[in-house]
Amino acid sequence: MLKTIKALALIALFAATTVPASAQDASWDDVVAAAKKEGKLVLYNMSAGAPYFQAVVKSFEQKYGISVDSLDLRASELVERIRTEQSAGRFLGDTEIVSTTMIEEQLKNGDFIQKLPQIPNAANIRPPFKVTDYSAPAYVQPMGILINTRLVKDADIPTSWNDLTDPKWKGKLLSDDMRPLGSGNTLFAILQKTMGAEFNEKLAEQKPVFSRDIRNDARRIARGEYPVYITQVFALASDLKGLPVKVVIPKEGAPYAQMDMAMLKSAPHPNAARLFMQHFLSVDSQLAYANGWMLPVVQAAADKADADAKPFANAKLIGPAQLSERPGMMALARKLYP
């Protein structure tokens, strides 16, 4: 019996020595102190240089004196970067902010991320968004319709997704490409489920023009190159105030991609990663996103949003797309748009 007790004690001692520095039961003051001692955070993201993201990073650096190395890549590039690094035993990144489906894919294909430590501000996340064992919601990226107000009469403004199938819009719709991974296919997949298969078939008959430069596409609408853009991420139109454009949220709701935060496997700065997630879920950080026309996951931020941002911070949502449906949706899009 004594030998058994000693053996159990040794096992417990060994387990204690192998717990990551960011221990679940550490007080939050200890986490902050440890993060400051680490002094650095390596953050992988796909923010496309968004000013609200940069503002949150800067406020984190100023508040805690922790420098942030931010790697901003497209989704496919980011996934491959993490896979290549970790396969080579090079664990360089601490935290990632990527889509929910990307995290699902990482969990399915390997152990690229580790279980999420306790994040106190996660208690403020509003329904229907939830924390999982491996990730916490960061923000939501909804999509609507952008119109040029000089080219589209008030009576012709599409208020339903079905309005886009009116023959008057044939050849006049600009869209993110719906065939590869990205916003276009996300919208395609969600509308396939919510509007029915006939909708995408009719939309394909409209011969939308595809582009993959989602930041510039809104400006193309503003310049009058096309009257309507049908995969408009709300936030990417927020800096066009004063130009002849308007974002429309169709009555059925806005398809969306949910962006989550996760801690990468063997993160070299786990406490800094944990502290950054806490900072990102603060009301002030979420408010920066809300005022940038992203949908925040903290209700208090949505409530405090500027008047012009409030409709987008509280938009009705439809979706999201499911990882399991992605291959079929991409194949169907390629069939409808050869």
**Percent of residues, the chain, with pLDDT higher than 90:** 78
Under 8 Å between Cβ of 41 and 272: yes
Same topology, domains 23-140+258-314 and 141-256+318-336? Answer is yes
Q: What is the mean pLDDT of the chain?
A: 90
Interval 197-216 mean pLDDT: 95
CATH superfamily of 23-140+258-314: Periplasmic binding protein-like II (3.40.190.10)
Query: Which pLDDT score is estimated for 210?
Result: 97
The per-residue pLDDT for range 73-127, each reduced to its tens digit, is: 877 788 889 989 998 889 999 999 999 999 998 998 888 999 999 999 999 999 9
Q: Average pLDDT for residues 210-233, to the nearest whole number?
A: 94
Which residues, in sequence order, are bridge partners of residue 233?
143
Contact 251, 160 (CB under 8 A): yes
Question: What's the confidence (pLDDT) of residue 14?
Answer: 35
* Mean pLDDT within 315-328: 92
Whole-number Å distance between alpha carbons of 233 and 239: 12
Instruction: Give the up-direction half-sphere exposure of residue 68: CA atoms within 13 A in the CB hemisphere.
Output: 25
Please tell me the distance from the alpha carbon of residue 19 to that of residue 49, in angstroms, as a whole number: 35
- Domain segments of the chain: what residues? 23-140+258-314, 141-256+318-336
Residues 6 or more apart whose Cβ sits within 8 Å of residue 153: none
Using DSSP's 3-state secondary structure scheme, residue 270 falls into: helix
CA separation for the pair 140, 149 (Å, rounded): 26
pLDDT per residue as tens digits for the range 223-273: 999 999 999 999 989 889 899 999 999 999 999 999 999 999 999 999 999
> What's the CA gap between 99 and 318, in Å, rounded?
16
Q: Which pLDDT score, from 0 to 100, does residue 50 have?
A: 87
What are the tens digits of pLDDT across the range 27-69?
999 999 999 999 999 999 988 778 999 999 999 999 999 999 9
Res 142 pLDDT > 60: yes
Place of tokens 């984190």: 60
CATH for 141-256+318-336 (3.20.20.210, 1.10.10.10, 1.10.540.10, 3.40.190.10): 3.40.190.10
